[in-house]
Structure 1
Amino acid sequence: MPTSPTLADRLALRERPAGRPLMYQDWGDLLFMHWPVPAEVIQPHLPPRLQVDTYDGMAWLAIVPFRMWDVRSRVTPPVPGVREFLELNVRTYVHLDGVPGVCFFSLDATNALAVWAARTFFHLPYFRAQLTLERPTPERLHYTGHRVHNGAPHAHFSATWHLGEVLPPSEPGSLAFFLTERYCLYAACEKGQRLYRGRISHDPWPLRSVELLNFESDLVEGHGLPPVVGEPVLHAGGPLHVSLWALQRV
C-alpha cells in the first residue's frame, strides 16, 4: 500500500503554488463536523488510485456547512448573482503520490449557475439545494437545507451551534491540523478513470470551539455509507480568503 504522507509533505502544501490562481473566494460561518470511521469502510467508496488518509489509524468523515462570498474568476468579469451563496459538503481525506487532500462525496449549493460550472469544469459532485443560514445572536448559528437537484438522492441537514472561545493555531501533527489544514482537492470523472488534482491556498484556519445544540442529517447515508455515530469533533472556522488553481490531471 502507498506510504501515507509525512508531516513534511503536509507542511509543504502550505506554500503558495506557482502561477496565477483561477478563482478567488471568501469562506466563513463554517462548521467542521468530523467523525472517525474505519479506513476499510471508506476505501471502497473512493475513486481508483486514491488512498484514504488516516490519523492514528482512523479515516475521518466530515459534514461541513459554510457561507461563501466574493466569488470571482480571474479570467471572466463578475457574474451577477453568483458572488455569494451557501454550501454544504460531505468529505473525507485522501492521498495520492504523497500529496494529501480532500475527496468530496457531495457538495450542495444554493446557486444553480455555480453548481453547473463546478460539475462541468471541476468534475465535482455538486447538487442544487435550498439552504438557509440564520444568526439569531452573534454567537449562535442555525443552518438548514434540503437537496432539490433533479434526479439526485434526497438529502436534508439541520444544525444549530454556539461559538465558543478562539482556539490557538492548530499545531502541526495534531488532529486539528490533520482535519482542517487541507490545501488540495481531488476530483474524478468517467467513473474514476480520469483523476484530477486542484490546489488551493489560504492562511491556516482561524478556529473556535463549538457547542453543538442540535443536529439532524441523512447526507452520509445517501452515499451508501453507514450513519455517523457518536459525538463529532467540532471546529468553527473563518473568515478566510481563498485562492484556487485550475485542475491538473494526475
Structure 2
Amino acid sequence: MNKELLVQSHRPYPLPDMNWMMTQEWHHTLFVHWPVPLSSLKEHVPRELQIDTFEGCAWIGIVPFQVKNTRGRFTPLIPGVSSYLEVNVRTYVKYGGRTGVYFFSLDANHLLAVLGAKAVFGLNYKQANIRFEEQNHFEMTSTRVQASAGIAKVELRYIPETQVFFAEPGTLEHWLTERYCLWTKRGSKLIRGDIHHTRWELQRAQAEISQEMLIPFLHQEYLTQQPLLHYTKYKKAFFWPPKLEK
C-alpha cells in the first residue's frame, strides 16, 4: 500500500469506499492567491455550489506546477505521456457539507492530458505552450494555443523564502490549501472528484507575476494587489473515479 494512503488523520472526511484510479506527482507548485468580492465570482460558478469564504471574503488562485509520473492504478508509466506542465485557475466552494475546489480553467502542454481530463472529469482543460526553467529560482511561462479558447498568458518567476511549515487549522493558509475534492459540471450534472495527499509542506515565497486575460471575467484591478504566495517542492496525489452528486 502506498505510504501516503496510510496518513489520513488530517482529512476532513474519510477516503472514498472504492479504489483510487490514478496517481501523479506535483513538483514546484506555487500557490498565488488574491482576495476578491464574492459577487465577482457568483455568476461564473455553478449555481449548485456555494462559494466558500474566509472571514467573509472569497479567494481566487493561480496555481502553476510540474506534473510527473502520472499513471493508472494498474498501468505502468508511459514515456512521453506521464509528465507535463499545468497552470490552473481556481476558487473554493462547498457542497453537501464538503469543502473543495472549483476550476475556472486548467492549461496544460500535453494534448493527451487535456483530452483525457476532459473526457474523465469534464474539467475545462485548454492546451497551452508552457515552458519551465529551474535555476536558482523557477520560471514558468504559459500561452494558450487556440485563439478560440481565448487569449491567456502568464509569466511567473518565483522562489521559496522561508523554512517548510504546516499550516495550522483555522488559518487562511490552511483554508486555501487543504482541500480534498473538486467539482465540475458535465452538461446539467454536477460531478465530484475526490483526491488524497498528505498535508502540504508549505514555504512562503517571492514571485514576479505577469498575466493577460487568464481570468478574463474578473476586474483586473483585483489582481494588482500583492498576492499571498506559497511554494511546495513535492506532493504525490491520488484520484478517485468521478462521482455524480445527487
Q: Could you state the TM-score of these two structures normalised by the residue count of structure 2?
A: 0.91
Match of 1:149 in 2: 146
CA displacement, residues 35-86 of structure 1 (integer Å, 9 cap, x when unaligned): 0011111111101211100000000000000001000012545433111110
1:215 aligns to 2:214 (yes or no): no
Partner of 1:174: 171
- Structure 1 residue 114 and structure 2 residue 135: aligned? no
Runs of 4+ in 1 over 4 A off after TM superposition: none
Alignment correspondent of 1:202: 197
Q: CA deviation at 1:238?
A: 3.2
Counterpart code for 2:229 = L
Q: Percent identity?
A: 36
Contact map agreement 2:180 2:194 (CA 8 A) in 1 = yes
What is the correspondence of 1:1-250 to structure 2 with a 5 Å cutoff? 11-13=11-13, 15-137=14-136, 140-149=137-146, 151-190=148-187, 193-212=188-207, 214-222=208-216, 224-227=217-220, 228-250=223-245
Q: How many residues of Structure 1 are paired with residues of Structure 2 in the alignment?
A: 234
Deviations for 1:121-161, whole angstroms, at most 9, x for unmatched residues? Answer: 11000011111111122xx1111110003621011010111
Contact 1:35–1:229 under 8 Å retained in 2:
no
Deviations 1:80-133 (A, max 9, x none): 311111000000000111111100000000110010011111100001111111
Q: How far apart in 1 are the matches of 2:77 and 2:24?
A: 12
Mapped partners of 1:125, 1:171: distance in 2: 31
Q: CA deviation at 1:164?
A: 1.2
Paired with 1:11 and 1:72, the residues of 2 have a C-alpha distance of 23
Shift of 1:219: 4.0
* SS at structure 2 position matched to 1:178: helix
- State the SS of the aligned residue for 1:185: strand
Aligned to 1:5: none
Give the distance between the partners of 2:82 and 2:35, measured in 1 at CA: 34
For 2:46, the aligned partner's letter is: P
1:95 counterpart SS class? strand
Unaligned runs of 5+ in 2: 1-9
Query: Any idea what SS the aligned residue of 2:122 has?
Result: coil
8 Å CA contact 1:17, 1:201 repeated in 2 = no
What letter corresponds to residue 210 of structure 2 in structure 1?
Answer: E
State the AA in 2 paired with 1:90: V
TM-score by length of 1: 0.89
2:161 partner SS: strand
Q: Given residue 217 of structure 1, which amino acid in structure 2 is its aligned partner?
A: Q
Structure 1 Cα separation of the partners of residues 61 and 185 of structure 2: 19
Shift of 1:18: 2.4
Kept in 1: contact 2:151–2:214 (CA 8 A): no
SS of 2:112's partner is helix
Cα-Cα RMSD: 1.5
SS of the residue aligned with 1:12?
A: coil
Are 2:100 and 2:179, in contact at CA under 8 Å, matched by a contact in 1?
yes
Q: Please state whether the residue corresponding to 1:40 is helix, strand or coil.
A: helix
